């Protein structure tokens, strides 16, 4: 029987297989399938088979976490292994204000819900609080918040939803709103003998230490990015009785769009101790302690696919670095990337310690308050005897100095071509290879990105530089250590290290850092892979004079710079930063251990040069050779501009 190949999904191949099957039947041996109406029936059979095969393939793909593409299916599969995707996160701002009032009440309560409206980028956003805030009235004023203890407001709209338990098996408690910040969900359960809203139940993410009387509930994402509340069944968690009233409050938010709001106008409502509306006797000025930040989008499908299996393998305990990575993503949703390094990997080793470095989605540093919260929550997962420490982000910047040759006969506007190149490089800078711990800058891809922008580009000569920013401690003697995690190139003449300018207590002009490799008696590199860091000063004639011959050491093999005790009084760059640049031995740069790799396009150089040979302007190539030599081998000035 000829119809034995069942893997064909192409319409033409299916149609050919049907014809072969029919020709094997003696009744259709000499039949003309193309010239008769029978071809319509064959097309119908082929189309039906094709559509059925396609649908079957899609259904099978949606049955596995790795191949599923619909969010509802990905979330459902992740739910099977106990993973709840991160919700949208409301941007949070810290404020304080003083309310003038004529009330005789001793207290004034700011009602949960709308508090103020914040402005950012010519757009207004509402900010709410999920719970009432009460303060005392003194001297005709009620003060809400302070610099030390501000009021935290959430970007979004405060909503309330009620359910009445009817005892049916198919009853579900689904919040009918998308864009919910799940961390703001608060549930109250009112039994027959309870007053007010009832007892507040605790939201949990696992059933450890939960018994039949625990007043807890779980949440899970369902269709259309909505959330369902799951209460106890009498075995794991207290079972709800018929007639019980569930009151749920939560905030729906715009996510990261609310970030940046810093100007607020008050819109809230007050009640006195008798629960009567109290109107302020004057205007209210909102003081901004910190602008809105940490707003984020709902967890992406690719992130769910990546972290769901890892959190499942962690089994709610932090042992390996992957365990920490998955758990921190859960307890701190604002995490963009995280690096975990065991103390045994440090030099010198620090046994019993785990160093955690977190890159938040917005900004470069995690606040001290967030650090404390993360460490507190990590204790529920970590092993006893292991101490966690959250260290500030260490960024390894990659810069390029690219000379790009183009055929002037094929373009009319060089600036437009340069803009297109910059846009393509910016797209690569935001790719999955970079902007993360363990990221890798791939030199070959950069060359391809540039060359493929336009057919007018004939070639490019691109040099790679790496940079770390040193935060100087001003007006005090201090030592510094910078690890680049990548091997440095060694030039026997030195000048492999460059820095931006800074001032010492003994200098009035800016000075710079550079290096001198160790050499033997014959003036050749001694093979140790080490050198000395010197401090130099620029002379009027453009040359440099050494003012501190040995200010530290450089290890070219380890990619490490150590500065001995120096007193830095100020820096040319803002925020007390000294930019230290080096040439890597390899053009492929890796962000190792706790280094966050970032392609810094803003400090990169794009030089557009005419390819006079390709355009026919210089057949002999004399001009091209001179330009090529200059762009390829010129080291430029010593200091980093």
Residue 90 has a pLDDT of: 93
Residue 411 has a pLDDT of: 84
Residue 376 has a pLDDT of: 85
CB 591, CB 357: distance < 8 Å:
no
Non-local (6+) Cβ contacts of 40 within 8 A are: none
Q: Helix axis angle, 321-331 relative to 368-378, nearest 10°?
A: 120
Residue 296 has a pLDDT of: 86
- Pull the structure tokens for residue 516: 């001198």
Q: How far apart (Å, rounded) are the C-alpha atoms in residues 530 and 519?
A: 9
The H or E element that residue 291 is part of is strand 286-293
- Pull the structure tokens for residue 515: 């290096």
pLDDT tens digit string along 295-331? 888 988 988 998 888 877 777 777 777 788 778 887 8
Written as one string, the DSSP assignment of 456-485 is TEEEEEEEEEEEEEEE--TTSEEEEEEE-S
Residues of the chain scoring pLDDT < 70: 1-9, 26, 28-33, 35-36, 347, 362, 432, 615-641
Residue 628 has a pLDDT of: 46
CB 15, CB 6: distance < 8 Å:
no
Q: How far apart (Å, rounded) are the C-alpha atoms in residues 413 and 415?
A: 6
Residue 202 has a pLDDT of: 93
Distances in Å between the Cα of 542 and the Cα atoms of 128, 535, 536 are 60, 16, 12
């Amino acid at each position: 029987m000829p119809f034995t190949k069942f893997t064909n999904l192409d319409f033409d191949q299916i149609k050919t297989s049907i014809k072969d099957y029919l020709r094997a039947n003696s009744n259709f041996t000499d039949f003309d399938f193309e010239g008769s109406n029978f071809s319509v029936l064959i097309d119908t059979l082929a189309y039906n088979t094709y559509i059925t095969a396609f649908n079957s393939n899609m259904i099978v793909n949606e049955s596995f976490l790795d191949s599923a593409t619909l969010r509802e299916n990905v979330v459902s599969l992740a739910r099977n292994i106990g993973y709840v995707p991160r919700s949208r996160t409301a941007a949070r701002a810290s404020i304080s204000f003083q309310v003038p009032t004529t009330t005789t009440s001793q207290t004034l309560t700011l009602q949960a819900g709308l508090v103020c409206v914040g402005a950012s980028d010519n757009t207004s956003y509402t900010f709410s609080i999920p719970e009432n805030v009460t303060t005392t009235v003194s001297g005709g004023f009620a003060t809400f918040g302070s610099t030390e203890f501000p009021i935290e407001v959430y970007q979004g709209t405060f909503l309330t939803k009620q359910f009445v338990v009817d005892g049916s098996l198919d009853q579900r408690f689904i919040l009918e709103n998308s864009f919910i910040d799940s961390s703001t969900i608060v549930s109250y359960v009112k039994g027959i003998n309870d007053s007010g809203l009832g007892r507040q139940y605790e939201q949990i993410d696992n059933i450890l230490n939960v018994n039949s009387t625990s007043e807890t509930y779980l949440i899970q994402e369902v269709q259309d990015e909505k959330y369902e509340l799951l209460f106890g069944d009498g075995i794991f968690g207290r079972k709800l009785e018929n007639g019980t009233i569930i009151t749920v409050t939560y905030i729906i938010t715009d996510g990261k769009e609310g970030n940046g709001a810093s100007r607020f106008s008050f819109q809230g409502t007050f009640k006195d101790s008798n629960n009567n509306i109290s109107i302020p006797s004057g205007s209210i000025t909102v003081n901004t302690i910190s602008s809105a930040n940490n707003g984020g989008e709902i967890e992406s499908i690719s992130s769910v696919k990546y972290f769901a299996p890892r959190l499942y393998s962690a089994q709610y305990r932090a042992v390996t670095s992957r365990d920490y990575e998955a758990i921190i993503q859960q307890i701190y949703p604002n995490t963009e990337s995280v690096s975990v390094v065991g103390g045994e990997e440090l030099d010198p080793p620090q046994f019993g310690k785990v160093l955690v470095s977190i890159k938040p989605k917005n900004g470069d540093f995690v606040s001290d308050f967030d650090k404390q919260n993360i460490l507190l929550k990590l204790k529920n997962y970590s092993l006893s005897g292991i101490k966690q420490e959250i260290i500030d982000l260490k960024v390894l910047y990659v810069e390029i100095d690219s000379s790009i040759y183009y055929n002037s006969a094929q373009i009319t506007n060089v600036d437009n071509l340069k803009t297109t190149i910059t846009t393509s490089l910016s797209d690569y800078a935001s790719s999955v290879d970079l902007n993360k711990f363990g990221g890798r800058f791939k030199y070959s891809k950069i060359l391809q990105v540039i060359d493929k922008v336009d057919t007018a580009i004939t070639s490019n000569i691109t040099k790679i530089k790496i940079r770390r920013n040193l935060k100087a401690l001003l007006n005090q003697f201090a030592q510094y250590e910078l690890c680049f995690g990548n091997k440095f190139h060694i030039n026997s003449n030195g000048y492999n290290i460059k820095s931006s300018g800074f001032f010492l207590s003994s200098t009035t002009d800016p000075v710079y850092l550079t290096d001198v490799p160790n050499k033997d008696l014959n003036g050749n590199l001694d093979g140790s892979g080490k050198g000395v860091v010197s401090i130099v000063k620029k002379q009027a004639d453009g040359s440099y004079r050494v003012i501190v011959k040995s200010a530290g050491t450089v290890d070219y093999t380890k990619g490490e710079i150590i500065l001995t005790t120096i007193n830095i009084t100020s820096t040319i760059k803002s925020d007390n930063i000294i930019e230290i640049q080096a040439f890597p031995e390899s053009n492929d740069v890796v962000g190792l251990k706790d280094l966050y790799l970032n392609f810094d396009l803003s400090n990169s150089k794009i030089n557009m040069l005419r390819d006079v040979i390709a355009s026919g302007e210089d057949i002999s190539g004399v001009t091209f050779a001179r330009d090529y030599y200059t762009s390829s081998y010129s080291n430029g000035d010593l200091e980093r501009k």
